């Protein structure tokens, strides 16, 4: 099999400022909430990437009108809300590998009803959705699997919501709860809707993003810890007018780690103290590793303070940015352990297995378990040819191994299939090259 690849020369020093692309998690939530709301929404700085492209295309197939306007300061998307009534009652929707598109859209279409099919790339058909479908169907929707039970593709038909209390498992993906929360106002016409979470909820900060954005669209959710959520009846999504998408905090992690490994300072612009994204807490993990972090309302800066300190921590709250810590661990002074990351195994690829395999290629000693990874850096990091498993984060993470940290020898790092970064950050390699000095 032939591969496309990118060769990265050794980078001795990094420095500069990076304007981040919009947050994937915020972009796709805002798109769906805009479509479901009353009134027109102007979205500023929406992420332009594969994951948002599939959501935009799906909304168009469903009859939701939107336009894109280029202005001197950036892009504005104008979405005409349909107030929960979709013009097209049937559609075949391609969801790529976007969890933030397929999970909330499945819930919305199941509750609204119609004749819809949803499918994606082969890996999407291996990513679980059964807990969400179970919760929806128990409430009265009609969602069927057309392939393997528990996984896309799905066929959604007309159902009838009869339940006022739903329960959903929270320990496989938080996106199932996010999906139910987003559509709960559509179910809570006459009665309140309660959603109970079964099992320990993972990735909690993503639920905070969901609740925050739901509130911006005029709906209040009552929260009882992480165990249950209630939506009072009669609330409808209202356009907030104009809404701005923050920079992507997960994308920020690669540049902050670069500053931490190879000098810096590197500043990311678009996220900071005011962010609603849990992944800004990546900066705190770097601080624990001895990195000097400074932060403003809308920026974060990292500079290295010498050799990184090994870390042993629970990363359940930042599963995506945690992958970048596994790479920083290569440049640390001992063994690092990343705990409570079982969800890595059901994402773009089995990320624990992929990370272990590729880290070993550059010389690390790696131990993996069902829900953890332990990385012992080699005396000397050896550049290698890295496979990316159609996982944008594998490509972005391993670009960092071109950095000339304290213990790295050799020259070219080769990243296979680098175009997979298009899922969330199509311009990644250009942005990375711009901070290489």
Ligand X SMILES: O=C(O)C1=C[C@@H](OP(=O)(O)O)[C@@H](O)[C@H](O)C1
Which of the residues are catalytic?
320
Confirm whether residue 29 is marked as ligand binding. yes
Residue 316 as a binder of ligand X (CB under 6 A): the answer is: no
Contact between 175 and ligand X (CB under 6 A)?
yes
Decide which of ligand X, ligand PEP, none touches 324; Cβ closer than 5 to 8 Å per partner kind. Answer: none
Q: Answer for the pair 104, 110: CB distance below 8 angstroms, yes or no.
A: no
Write down the least CB distance from residue 320 to ligand PEP, Å: 4
Would the annotation count 99 as a binding residue? yes
Tracing tokens 């020259």 back to the chain, one arrives at: 411
CB of 220 to ligand PEP, least distance (A): 26
Residue ranges in 246-305 that form contacts with ligand X under rule CB under 6 A? none
Residue with the closest Cβ to ligand PEP? 99
Peptide bond between residue 98 and the one before it cis (omega within 30 degrees of 0): no
Return the one option of ligand X, ligand PEP, none that residue 316 interacts with (CB less than 5 to 8 A, by type).
Answer: none
259 binds, among ligand X, ligand PEP, none (CB under 5 to 8 A by kind): none
- Using omega within 30 degrees of 0 as the cis cutoff, is the peptide bond preceding 265 cis? yes
Q: Is 98 in the site for ligand PEP (CB under 6 A)?
A: yes
100 binds ligand PEP (CB under 6 A): yes
100 belongs to the binding site for ligand X (CB under 6 A): yes
3-state SS track over 207-246: HHHHHHHHHHCCCCEEEECCCEEEECCCCCCECCCEEECC
By CB atoms closer than 10 A (0-12, 13-18, 19+), residue 190 is exposed
If one asks whether residue 173 binds ligand X (CB under 6 A), the answer comes out as yes
Task: Say whether 169 sits in a helix, a strand or coil.
Answer: strand
CA-based R_g, the chain, Å: 22
263 is in an annotated binding site: no
Q: Is 27 in the site for ligand X (CB under 6 A)?
A: no
CB of 207 to ligand X, least distance (A): 8
- From candidates 66, 206, 237, 254, binder to ligand X by CB under 6 A: 206
Other CB atoms within 10 Å distance of the CB of residue 89: 13
Task: Tell me: is residue 204 an annotated ligand-binding position.
Answer: no
Q: Is the Cβ of residue 206 or residue 282 nearer to ligand X in the bound state?
A: 206
Q: What whole-number distance in Å separates Cα of residue 114 and Cα of residue 90?
A: 6
Residue spans of beta strands (DSSP E) within 258-298? 263-269, 292-295
Closer residue to ligand X in complex, CB, 174/376: 174
Q: How far is it, in rounded angstroms, from Cα 264 to Cα 248?
A: 20
What residue ranges bind ligand X (CB under 6 A)?
A: 25, 99-100, 173-175, 178, 202-203, 206, 319-320, 343
């Amino acid at each position: 099999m032939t591969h496309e690849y990118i060769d990265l020369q050794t980078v001795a020093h990094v420095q500069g400022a990076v304007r981040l692309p919009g947050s994937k998690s915020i972009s796709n939530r805002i798109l769906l909430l805009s479509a479901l709301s009353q009134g027109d929404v102007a979205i500023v700085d929406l992420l332009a990437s594969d994951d948002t492209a599939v959501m935009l295309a799906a909304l168009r197939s469903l009859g939701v009108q939107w336009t894109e306007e280029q202005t001197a300061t950036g892009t504005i998307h104008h979405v005409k809300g349909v107030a929960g009534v979709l013009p097209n009652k049937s559609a075949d929707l391609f969801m790529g590998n976007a969890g933030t598109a397929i999970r909330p859209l499945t819930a919305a279409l199941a509750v609204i009803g119609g004749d819809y099919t949803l499918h994606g790339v082969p890996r999407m058909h291996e990513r679980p959705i059964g807990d969400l479908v179970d919760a929806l169907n128990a409430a009265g929707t009609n969602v069927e699997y057309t392939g393997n039970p528990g996984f896309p593709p799905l066929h959604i038909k007309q159902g009838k919501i009869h339940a006022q209390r739903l329960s959903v498992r929270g320990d496989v993906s938080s996106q199932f709860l996010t999906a139910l929360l987003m559509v709960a106002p559509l179910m809570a016409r006459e009665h309140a809707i309660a959603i109970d979470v079964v099992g320990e909820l993972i990735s909690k900060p993503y639920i905070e993003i969901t609740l925050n954005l739901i509130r911006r669209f005029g709906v209040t959710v009552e929260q009882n810890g992480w165990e249950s959520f209630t939506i009072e009846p009669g609330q409808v999504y209202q356009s907030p007018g104009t809404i701005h998408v923050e920079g992507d905090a997960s994308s920020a992690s690669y540049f902050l780690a670069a500053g931490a490994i190879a000098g810096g300072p590197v500043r990311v612009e678009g996220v900071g103290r005011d962010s609603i994204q849990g992944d800004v807490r990546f900066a705190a993990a770097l601080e624990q590793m001895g990195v000097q972090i400074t932060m403003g309302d809308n920026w974060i800066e990292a500079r290295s303070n010498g050799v990184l300190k090994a870390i042993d921590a629970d990363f359940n709250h930042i599963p995506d940015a945690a992958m970048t810590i596994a790479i920083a661990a290569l440049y640390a002074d001992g063994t690092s352990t990343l705990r409570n990351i079982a969800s890595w195994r059901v994402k773009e690829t089995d990320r624990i297995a992929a990370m272990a395999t590729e880290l070993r290629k550059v010389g690390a000693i790696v131990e993996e378990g069902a829900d953890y990874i332990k990385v012992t850096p080699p005396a000397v990091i050896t550049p290698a040819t890295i496979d990316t498993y159609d996982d944008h984060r594998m490509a972005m993470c391993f670009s960092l191994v071109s950095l000339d940290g304290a213990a790295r020898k050799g020259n070219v790092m080769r990243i296979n299939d680098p175009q997979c970064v298009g899922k969330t950050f199509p311009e990644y390699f250009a942005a990375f090259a711009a901070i290489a000095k």
